[in-house]
Amino acid sequence: MGICSWLVLGGIAGWLASIIKGTNARMGMFANIVAGIVGAMVGGWVFSFFGGSGVTGFNLYSLLVATVGAVILLSLLQIIRK
C-alpha cells in the first residue's frame, strides 16, 4: 500500500475506533489518522498472534484489522490516562 492508502485507511479506521470508544468529539482528523495507522500495526500483530493475517491491502479485512487495533490502542491510552 502507498502512503495515500495508509492515510485514508488510517483515517477511516481511527475515526471508526473513536466512535466506538466515544472519543470522537475530542479527537481531530490528525489524531484519527495516527490512531488508525498505529492501530493497523497493533491489529496486525494481534491478528498474526492468533494465526490470522494483518493488513493485506486496501480492503474491508484490512479496515477491520486496523479498526480493532485502533480500538485496542485507544483503550490502552484511556487506561494510562486514568
In the chain, where the domains are located: 3-81
d(CA 18, CA 1): 23
**More confident call, 3 vs 68:** 68
Query: What are the b/e assignments for 19-43, b being 16+ CB within 10 Å?
Result: eebebeeebeeeebbbbbbbbbebb
Distances in whole angstroms, Cα of residue 4 to Cα of each of 1, 8, 16, 36, 82: 8, 6, 18, 13, 34
- pLDDT band of 72, cuts 50, 70, 90: very high
Residue type, 82: K
pTM score, whole prediction: 0.85
pLDDT of 24 strictly over 80: no
Name the band, by pLDDT with cuts 50, 70 and 90, for residue 27.
confident
